[in-house]
Amino acid sequence: MTVAGSALITNVRPYGDGDPVDVAVVDGVIAAIGSGLDAPEGAEIVDGRGGVLLPGFVDLHAHLREPGREDTETIASGSLAAARGGYTAVFAMANTAPVADNSSITDLVWRLGREIGLVDVHPVGAVTVGLAGEQLAEMGMMADGVAKVRLFSDDGKCVHDPVLMKRALEYSRGLGVLISQHSEDPRLTVGAVAHDGPTAARLGLAGWPRAAEESIVARDALLARDAGARVHIAHASTAGTVELIRWARSQGIDITAEVTPHHLLLDDSRLETYDGVNKVNPPLREASDVAALRRALADGIVDCVATDHAPHASQEKCCEFSQARPGMLNLETALSVIVETMLVPGLLDWRGVARVMSERPAEIVGLDDQGRPIAVGEPANLTVVDPDQEWTVRGDGLASKSSNTPYEEMTLPGVVRATLLRGRVTARRAAADTVGEWS
């Protein structure tokens, strides 16, 4: 069970600003911030080594695969991956087997997450029964369960029928919940395995056009407008999606969006090797889309980073490209990819990283105990980052049960040194001066 803890984090710079301070935590709450603080009774000591202290990260989009595919990830392994990635809350997508389309599944996922206690696991409920896109799921029942489901998605599939999506948005408004749309017109992506552009044409891969995403983003913005509802765009991947969101906001439409680490770092030039590890939905796009997404995240047009952490078994990835399952690991590498793509080029500072990794996602789903300021009286959901260290990613060294990382053998900047959930240390690096090892 998740119990509150006491801790003393020494020698850290909140948001990377100013001189290092100590942060004392008593029973899960920040009790003091200053220099030379005494350790509270029973406190765990975390040596911050002059690193950056951030609010714990919040992921609106992860696939933890339990129930059903425990060979590829479990709530336990996914929770550990999340904690090591600096996360204190994760939303677990509904495309499990069975599908999380009723409160017995969503409450089970919630309870398992609480028992493991490494990260707050919030189940996402399905919008339609069995993700079949035909009949609305009992969203109200899931919202009323112990898990208090507040985010709904058929992710993996698009809620394609516009009448059904319209009704789902109307219900979501009444229930005070949010729908996250996997924007993909299925008629435009039949057989598609890669971004529809020059690279796919040259490699002989069937193309997934930008319009398959953008047409649904435009449609759903209009449906949300007319329903007076909010809508959230999962894994935005194109420059056109950014422009549509900008337009919708200018019309006063209540639309939010996330971008994945891989769409900020990688483009479709990766496909040359036909390695299934690079297959993902939506597909890796072109360098111009990557640039537009980075700018949009910096400007706030895209609100936040979400991992779309999607573990798959090696036999599902190491096969012919057209047969490989789409999806990539991300929980343990997200922070480093954001440092590489946003902080190093000067598009975001550490305050900005806190905004896109923690504050905005918590606000979007209305979590009142996450993404909070680092201040006395606030819950101690915190992450300590060493900004000056690098590490080399190796899939077999990750906590995830799968190893389908597209960053294999890449050296990335920024190392999570420790994560605290309500003042309890949920992950910490082993020795003060080594990376890659956890205690």
Ligand X SMILES: NC(=O)N[C@@H](CC(=O)O)C(=O)O
Binding residues: 61, 63-65, 95, 155, 182, 235, 281, 308, 312, 326-327
| Contact by Cβ (8 Å): 165, 173 | no
From the list Zn ion, ligand X, none, partner contacted by residue 262 (C-beta under 5 to 8 A by kind)? none
DSSP annotation of 202: H
In whole angstroms, give the CA distance from residue 370 to residue 378: 9
The separation between CA 111 and the C-alpha centre of its own chain, rounded to angstroms, equals 20
| Cβ proximity to ligand X, 12 vs 304, nearer residue | 304
Q: Is the peptide bond before 326 cis (omega within 30 degrees of 0)?
A: no
Q: Does 326 bind ligand X (CB under 6 A)?
A: yes
Site size toward ligand X, by CB under 6 A: 11
DSSP reduced 3-state for 207: strand
Q: Does 308 bind Zn ion (CB under 5 A)?
A: yes
Written as six digits, the tokens of 99 are: 């599908």
Q: Is position 308 annotated as part of the catalytic site?
A: yes
φ, ψ dihedrals at 229, nearest 5°:
-110, 170
State the binding partner of 286 from Zn ion, ligand X, none, CB within 5 to 8 A by kind. none
Angle in degrees, 0-180, between the axes of helices 210-227 and 239-250, rounded to the nearest 10: 20
Q: Across the strands, what pairs with 74?
A: none
Length of the chain: 439
- Give the E-state strand segments of 56-177 in sequence order: 57-62, 87-92, 120-123, 151-152
CA angle 84, 154, 186 (to 5 degrees): 120
Per the annotation, binding residues for substrate are 63-65, 95, 281, 312, 326-327
Q: How far is the CB of 233 from ligand X (least distance, A)?
A: 12
Structure-block tokens of residue 8: 């003393």
Distance CA 129, CA 257 (A): 24
Can residue 280 be called a binding residue for ligand X (CB under 6 A)? yes
155 binds Zn ion (CB under 5 A): yes
Tell me how far, at minimum, the Cβ of 283 lies from Zn ion, in Å: 11
405 binds ligand X (CB under 6 A): no
Cα(225)–Cα(247) distance, rounded to whole angstroms?
12
Among 56, 113, 145, 327, binds ligand X (CB under 6 A): 327
Interaction of residue 40 with ligand X, rule CB under 6 A = no
Any idea what DSSP says for residue 66? T
Parallel, antiparallel or unpaired: strands 151-152 and 178-181: parallel
CB of 175 to ligand X, least distance (A): 23
Q: Pick the catalytic residue from 22, 101, 308, 386.
A: 308
- Report the residue from 22, 155, 214, 258 that binds ligand X according to the rule CB under 6 A: 155
Q: Is 156 in the site for ligand X (CB under 6 A)?
A: yes
Out of 13, 63, 428, 429, which residue is the one contacting ligand X (CB under 6 A)? 63
By CB under 6 A, the residues from 175 to 194 that bind ligand X are: 182
The gap from C-alpha 372 to its chain's centroid, in whole angstroms, comes to: 17
Interface pick for ligand X out of 107, 268, 308, 332 (rule CB under 6 A): 308
CB of 282 to ligand X, least distance (A): 8
- Interaction partner, residue 326 (Zn ion, ligand X, none; CB < 5-8 Å by kind): ligand X
User: Is 285 near ligand X (CB under 6 A)?
Assistant: no
Q: What residues form DSSP beta bridges with 242? A: none
Site string for ligand X, 87-126 (x = CB under 6 A): --------x-------------------------------
Answer with the entry of ligand X, Zn ion, none that 237 interacts with (C-beta below 5 to 8 A by kind).
Answer: none
Residue 432 contacts residue 115 (beta carbons within 8 Å):
no
Binding site for ligand X (CB under 6 A): 63, 95, 155-156, 182, 280-281, 308, 310, 326-327
Residues serving a catalytic function are 308
> What are the residues binding Zn ion (CB under 5 A)?
155, 182, 308
